[in-house]
Amino acid sequence: MISIEDINLEKEIVHYIDWLSSFGKNGNGGITRLLYTDEWKEAQDGLKNLMEELGFDTYYDKVGNLFGRLKGSHYIDETILTGSHIDTVVNGGKLDGQLGIIGGIIALKYLKDNFGQPLRNIEVVSMAEEEGSRFPFAFWGSKNIIGGATKEMVENLKDANGLSFVEEMYRLGFDFNDDDYKGREDLKAFVELHIEQGGVLEIEKKSIGVVHHIVGQRRFTIKVKGEANHAGTTPMGYRKDALYGSSKMIRSIIDKAVEYGDPLVATVGRLEVKPNTVNVVPGEVVFSLDIRHICKETIIEFTNEVEKIINYISSKMGLEIEIEKWMDCDPIAMDEELVNSIKNKCEKEGLNYKLMHSGAGHDSQIFAKVIPTAMIFVPSHKGISHSPEEFTAPKDLVEGVKALIEILKDLAY
């Protein structure tokens, strides 16, 4: 059993997170630190200095992922990796991404100070990019580490100001991996500490979530076409009201999702009405549908239910529909053995944990395709994320880092 001074750990976490938050800080307390911007590079260089001060070997890979390394004494071709992403959304909070990097650094420092050199290499990574906030491409950092990204995928991308992905990357001295790069072969496990970005842990009064699956997602755009008509002169029986039809569809779809129960979620987040005028019967409605579950078969089954609902209502009301599926991302399981190890550590150390799935996407879903991967969540106050309001109680941050230390110790020593 590791003896950890909670009070010192808490001070260190809060201190380093505040320090890292100064890179790209906005006037309102939020952080905007997009891939390959100056503030992004300053944050990476700042982290590099910090890691070196703490005695880690450091290096950038070709695309700008930053690594800090404790060299192993015995299995020198085997590396245990932790960390998260350094980029933020526009006006993001202090914890999304940053916590996983700072938590990793503190864990390595603690392990080094208390247990010396590990048997295997341990590395903490500050990944270049995960959010897709500057360019329309997400998971650039993790995909490069596993050899799952190529120049071709991004070479035509531009940001909102028309600046090119490639030129911005070159400007900071980075480059693409070779096209035949197969990814790192020394990596034996990846463990990511992250905020939950949902309200479940807080509501259930748990300090740690041990993630067993990351959900798959399907996203659709559904267009419902009726007939725009005068709101006063068109009797109810002569209408083809696209919003009335859409309301029936949305109600039935969400009812069905509630009936399916956890962990299925279905969300209609976006809806546009045409012509969107008080005194005109809506002629067209376009709405989005986001479906998530940890089991691919359930997603398929639920999608079929949705299509049945939409077809039934539209044909009954004489409406035309178009359903476009524009995202289809399979669920992925975390490594069962690793999940059990974390769970056992939590039990042994008396940490207040819950086995759960992740409803949001993370770098871990990229690693999980190729190496044993697991995630440790800490609570998000009111479920808020991607906002300057992101907050996790310091005692929960401590529990999260403790769990990370325990599993890294287990894997690398």
Least distance in angstroms from the C-beta of 218 to its own copies:
12
CB neighbour list of residue 77: distance below 8 Å, 6 or more residues apart: 186
Cα separation of 88 and 134, whole Å? 9
Which residues contact its own copies (rule: CB under 8 A)? Answer: 196-200, 203, 215, 217, 219, 229-238, 241, 243-244, 246-248, 250-251, 254, 257-258, 261-273, 276-282, 288, 290, 292, 358-361, 380, 383, 385
3-state secondary structure of 355: strand
C-beta of 50 vs 313, nearer to its own copies: 313
Q: Write 157-163 long-range contacts (CB < 8 A, 24+).
A: 159/34, 159/134, 159/135, 160/134
Least distance in angstroms from the C-beta of 275 to its own copies:
8
Size of the chain, expressed as the number of residues it contains: 413
| Per-residue tokens: 80 | 């245990």
Cα separation of 88 and 193, whole Å? 16
Cα separation of 104 and 80, whole Å? 11
**DSSP line for 356-387:** EEESS--THHHHTTTS-EEEEEE--GGG--SS
C-beta of 286 vs 405, nearer to its own copies: 286
Annotated binding residue at 336?
no
Phi/psi zone of residue 162: left (φ > 0), alpha (ψ -120 to 50 degrees), beta?
Answer: left
| Per-residue tokens: 59 | 């290096």
Q: Are 356 and 177 in contact (CB under 8 A)?
A: no
C-beta of 187 vs 378, nearer to its own copies: 378
Annotated binding residue at 131?
yes
* Tokens 């260190």 belong to residue: 12
Cα separation of 20 and 93, whole Å? 11
C-beta of 27 vs 232, nearer to its own copies: 232
Least distance in angstroms from the C-beta of 294 to its own copies:
11
Least distance in angstroms from the C-beta of 207 to its own copies:
17
Cα separation of 132 and 8, whole Å? 35
Beta bridge partners of 287: 222, 271
Annotated binding residue at 357?
no
C-beta of 171 vs 219, nearer to its own copies: 219
Annotated binding residue at 194?
yes
| Per-residue tokens: 104 | 């990793």
C-beta of 84 vs 144, nearer to its own copies: 84
Annotated binding residue at 212?
no
Least distance in angstroms from the C-beta of 320 to its own copies:
17
Least distance in angstroms from the C-beta of 246 to its own copies:
8
Cα separation of 58 and 46, whole Å? 12
C-beta of 72 vs 379, nearer to its own copies: 379
Least distance in angstroms from the C-beta of 205 to its own copies:
14
* Tokens 């659709």 belong to residue: 220
For the annotated binding site for allantoate, the residues are 219, 279, 292
For the annotated binding site for Zn(2+), the residues are 85, 96, 131, 194, 386
For the annotated binding site, the residues are 85, 96, 131, 194, 219, 279, 292, 386
